[in-house]
Structure 1
Amino acid sequence: MNRPDLIRFCVAPLLGLAAAPAFAQPPAVAPTLPAPAPPVIAPPALVTPPPVPIPTPSAAQQVWLNNWLKGGAEQGLMARSKATSSLASDALISAVLDRAKALSTGRVDTADFLNIWALRPAAFDPRPGLARAIAEDRLPQWAAGLTPPYSGYDGLRRGLSNYERIRDAGGWPVLTAKSAPDAVRKRLAIEDKTVQPGEKLVDALQRAQRRYGLNPTGLLDARTLKELNVPVEDRIGAIMANMERWRWMPRQLPVNRVQVNIAAAVLTVFEGDQPVTSMRAVTGAPDNATPMLTSSIHSIVVNPPWNVPSSIAKKELWPKGRTALLRQGYKIVGTPETGERIVQPAGPSSALGRLKFDFNNPFAVYLHDTPARAKFSSYDRLASHGCIRLEKPVPLAELMLQDDPKLSGQVQSLIDTGKTQRVQLPKEVAVYLLYWTAFSSSNGTMNFRSDPYGWDKLLAQKIEASSRRLDPMAAPAATIASKD
């Protein structure tokens, strides 16, 4: 799905804006001569500091930098593009600065992001660091500090190398429901080195299904076949896309935070930079994508009403008719002349459940409870209008309020009052909505999730296009094709 200009609203404002007061006309006064205009004082010109001068690298340093530039494919900055020549002088420095910025903040320029990719990397100037590294002859240490300092990124880098080896060896065969057990076992062993020749096929299939986020039945069903038959090129593209998203992340995450993996529909709470609890979630359906973003949860609304967004009301509720809506407990606010909207009052059947976790963002998405619990037992949980439904909202609220002596342990009591009220958190909690479709286990095994929004393939294409356009070390497309 590619809808870069879509801004989706999960909830309308609680109350409409009050009518603007009417202002009386000022009394007539005798005309007066205009006062002399004050002198125009031009604002001080913005002075751009001169760029940091880069020392001329020694001959040995130039060799090292050229070899470093040839490693772009190892960092997921290009797929089949390979370095073909060495650079010298200003061209070398320009390429090194470009590569340093790509490794630190991403290969794709933010101007080429979809609007819904609202996670933006911080600005980064590589010139001062490069100048010091050349002057102090510490280029390897400087280069090592450019990539994201996370084990998640390193795991993807190792996985990329492994899957490129699989690709260069010919990939894997396409399976069918009639494939022989030995053929299935051989296919599984390409990605899972723990598969043994005499191992029960059901056990090997269950491991694969867990890696793909599927129900581990141990059966070669249609969903499992589909994942096993994803081309290795697409797996490489997914790894590249996820490495790029890691480069968009801040170099130091808040130690206390909430992270949502949109693609896996899982929420994890971190305290002291360690995961302390996780829960299943329901995230946006493919036609109502949950955006990638970062913000801070500032308050919780207890017993929230639901102001139905006009898009949902038009498509799903108004066709039922006014009588049916009123019978189902909805309220119709406003008049046909001024505009009508649908409100679902707070209560056990409210679509927002009993709790809503608010954080500022341009998409008006949030975390919330839900009375529809059945979806949490499913392995396919991308079904919302863009907001994130929570499996365990009350424990999450208790965690966030545990430092407030008046509210700690009182969440259920607040709910039981039936009263709608907003509770400010004693301390805002960082929240990250992320799209991780490829990640490495602690043993180095790659895990994949489906790409429900089509963002992996799109981002991998953007990475490759940017590399060919900006990276002088990348071979042109015609050269690449001739080597395949």
Structure 2
Amino acid sequence: MMVFKLSPTLLTALAIAAPAVAQVPVTPPAPASTPIPLVQPQRPLPTLTAAQQRQLATLIANDEVAQGLSNKPRTDLDRLDAASLVRVALDHAIAVHSGRLMPSDFQRDWGIRPTAFDPLPGFADAVARDRLAAWVRSLPPPYQGYDTLVEGLGRYRRIAAAGGWPTLTVAPTYGSSGAAVARLRERLAIEDPELTGTGDRFDAALLEAVRRAQRRYGLNPAGQVGAQTLAALNVPVEQRVQQIMANLERWRWLPPTLDRRRVQVNIAAAVLTAFDGDRPIMSMRAVTGRPGNETPMLVSQISSIVINPPWNVPSSIATKELWPKERANPGYLKRNGFRVIETPDGGKRLQQASEQSALGRFKFDFPNDFAVYLHDTPARSGFSKFDRLASHGCVRLEKPEDLAKLLMATTPDWQPEAIDAAVAAGKTVRAKMAEPVSVYLLYWSAFAGADGQVGFREDPYGWDGKLAATVQRRSDAQALAAK
């Protein structure tokens, strides 16, 4: 399997986006594309030798657990007849390559769908050349981030098998001593191989271990063991395993290659990264959707940037938030730059002028079914927070002007001076990009760096548990169907 390297800085320090992949531009898959079903019965299947049958049964039993498709190793494969085992192998190939979910399992806001994959030609060739082990190794997504997360899954399962970790009830402080400090040291050492020293004193080595843990969990790395740090440390290891399984499944939904020029947003971490091939060239904080106004996962292309955009207020926001404010404080809408526009059906909608627009000075458009986009914002205080899930679903950007100039670098008419002049003029302008840039909105709540350390974020939308349970349920159903 091809492995594509990514800067350890991005994976370990930022841990914010899908890792680097081959620099082969492709068109993102249409949202409606879905994996093909199991191989049609009328297609001829290869015949296995007895030795191949035994080998294949062992390979699949081990790989299904290793790839996070199930927590329970299958024990029935060596009892299946050859034809049934071949069908199980082909189903396993689809699951590892493109995901275990069926089309009906996807929520609407899980807007990424895996590309179609037919495993039969590759499997038939592997049988003919007696290369089944190599075929199984070739199935997973070709990303280093996936591979390191698979390794992380094995590590956390070993931690679970050894009894997990202790629950912390007391938050010791730097310089203190006692049983609570010893318990904290024991807990941190289970995940952190860098932690050195022993004993019950909260020393400098333990302080740095606390800070490393806080960075892994996306918390303020101040070294103080507060309520948030305790809560993160007390998440059961079984839940961490479930998180990793869910994120492995999401990796399998990505296209075989990602476009060379691309923008990626990690929704759960609320961070945007711009890539040129396998190289991250810009990163910034973002504000993503609060629970209840989730930012969807999707793949699209940014083809234009609106400078000084007005804000056409979605009816849901107008109804829930703005009209009530006007009724409570007459004149609120006018004072904040909103215009009331009559609609053809006799209704009313709101538009906020560009001078006071909640979209700031830049709006990055890309076609999608969710009416979301990337944009500037005059509300800057949100970027200083570690918890930045606060929008209505769109993605607010810390440095939108920098991103606009980066994306327009290949557009002769929109070099930095022209962008500055358009912003200063204050008029709304749609600037078309000479080369569209792909955008990926992704939900990574567990990710592993090249050093093997797994970083976690909270599962703000509750998607991890549901997804991991669905993967396990589908795996159990497939095992039952094969008997």
TM-score range, shorter chain: 0.7 to 0.9
Q: Describe how 1:60-459 pairs up with structure 2 within 5 A.
A: 60-71=51-62, 72-86=64-78, 87-178=80-171, 180-198=180-198, 200=204, 201-321=206-326, 322-334=330-342, 338-347=346-355, 349-409=356-416, 410-459=418-467
Cα deviation, 1:64-86, whole Å, max 9, x if unaligned, reads 10001111111100023543441
Contact 2:171–2:230 (CA<8 Å) still a contact in 1?
no
TM-score by length of 1: 0.85
Give the superposed CA RMSD.
Answer: 1.9
Contact 1:95–1:472 (CA<8 Å) still a contact in 2?
no
Letter in 1 for 2:52: Q
Distance in 2 separating the partners of 1:168 and 1:408: 57
Relative to structure 1, is the Cα distance of residues 84 and 184 closer, same or farther in structure 2, using a 3 angstrom cutoff? farther
Contact 2:88–2:482 (CA<8 Å) still a contact in 1?
no
Distance in 2 separating the partners of 1:422 and 1:232: 49
Cα deviation, 1:302-355, whole Å, max 9, x if unaligned, reads 1100011111111111112252211222111117981111110001x3100000
Distance in 1 separating the partners of 2:480 and 2:437: 43
Letter in 1 for 2:135: W
Cα deviation, 1:16-62, whole Å, max 9, x if unaligned, reads xxxxxxxxxxxxxxxxxxxxxxxxxxxxxxxx998542221111111
Letter in 1 for 2:223: G
> Which residue in 2 is equivalent to 1:24?
none
Distance in 2 separating the partners of 1:220 and 1:450: 17
Contact 1:334–1:341 (CA<8 Å) still a contact in 2?
yes
| Higher share in helix | 2
Distance in 2 separating the partners of 1:113 and 1:313: 29
Relative to structure 1, is the Cα distance of residues 102 and 336 closer, same or farther in structure 2, using a 3 angstrom cutoff? closer
Contact 1:177–1:220 (CA<8 Å) still a contact in 2?
no
1:237, distance to aligned residue in structure 2 (A): 0.4
1:298, distance to aligned residue in structure 2 (A): 0.9
| Identity of matched residues, % | 53
Distance in 2 separating the partners of 1:60 and 1:428: 52
Letter in 2 for 1:155: T
SS in structure 1 at match of 2:252: helix
Contact 1:156–1:239 (CA<8 Å) still a contact in 2?
yes
Relative to structure 1, is the Cα distance of residues 50 and 337 closer, same or farther in structure 2, using a 3 angstrom cutoff? closer
Contact 1:305–1:343 (CA<8 Å) still a contact in 2?
yes
Please, which moves more after superposition, 334-343 or 196-205?
A: 334-343
* Residue 61 of structure 2 corresponds to residue 57 of structure 1: no
> Which residue in 2 is equivalent to 1:480?
none
1:232, distance to aligned residue in structure 2 (A): 0.6
Contact 2:311–2:354 (CA<8 Å) still a contact in 1?
yes
**Structure 2 unpaired stretches of 5+:** 1-38, 173-179
Distance in 1 separating the partners of 2:121 and 2:85: 16
Query: Which of structures 1 and 2 has the bigger CA Rg?
Result: 1
* Residue 464 of structure 2 corresponds to residue 460 of structure 1: no
SS in structure 2 at match of 1:365: coil
Cα deviation, 1:92-127, whole Å, max 9, x if unaligned, reads 011101101100110111221101101000011111
Contact 2:97–2:252 (CA<8 Å) still a contact in 1?
yes
Contact 2:171–2:225 (CA<8 Å) still a contact in 1?
no
Contact 2:96–2:252 (CA<8 Å) still a contact in 1?
yes
Letter in 2 for 1:415: V
1:142, distance to aligned residue in structure 2 (A): 1.5
Distance in 2 separating the partners of 1:336 and 1:147: 52
Distance in 2 separating the partners of 1:327 and 1:197: 61
Q: Describe how 1:17-32 pairs up with structure 2 within 5 A.
A: none
Distance in 2 separating the partners of 1:387 and 1:186: 41
1:178, distance to aligned residue in structure 2 (A): 4.8
Letter in 2 for 1:286: P
Q: How many pairs does the alignment contain?
A: 427
* Runs of 4+ more than 4 Å apart: 48-52, 472-475
**Structure 1 unpaired stretches of 5+:** 1-47, 476-484
TM-score by length of 2: 0.85
SS in structure 2 at match of 1:471: helix
1:434, distance to aligned residue in structure 2 (A): 0.2
SS in structure 2 at match of 1:69: helix
Letter in 2 for 1:133: A
Distance in 2 separating the partners of 1:172 and 1:219: 20
Distance in 1 separating the partners of 2:262 and 2:415: 19
SS in structure 2 at match of 1:406: helix
Distance in 1 separating the partners of 2:148 and 2:263: 22
Cα deviation, 1:227-262, whole Å, max 9, x if unaligned, reads 000011110000000000011111111111100000
Contact 1:375–1:381 (CA<8 Å) still a contact in 2?
yes
Distance in 2 separating the partners of 1:131 and 1:474: 20
Distance in 2 separating the partners of 1:393 and 1:412: 13
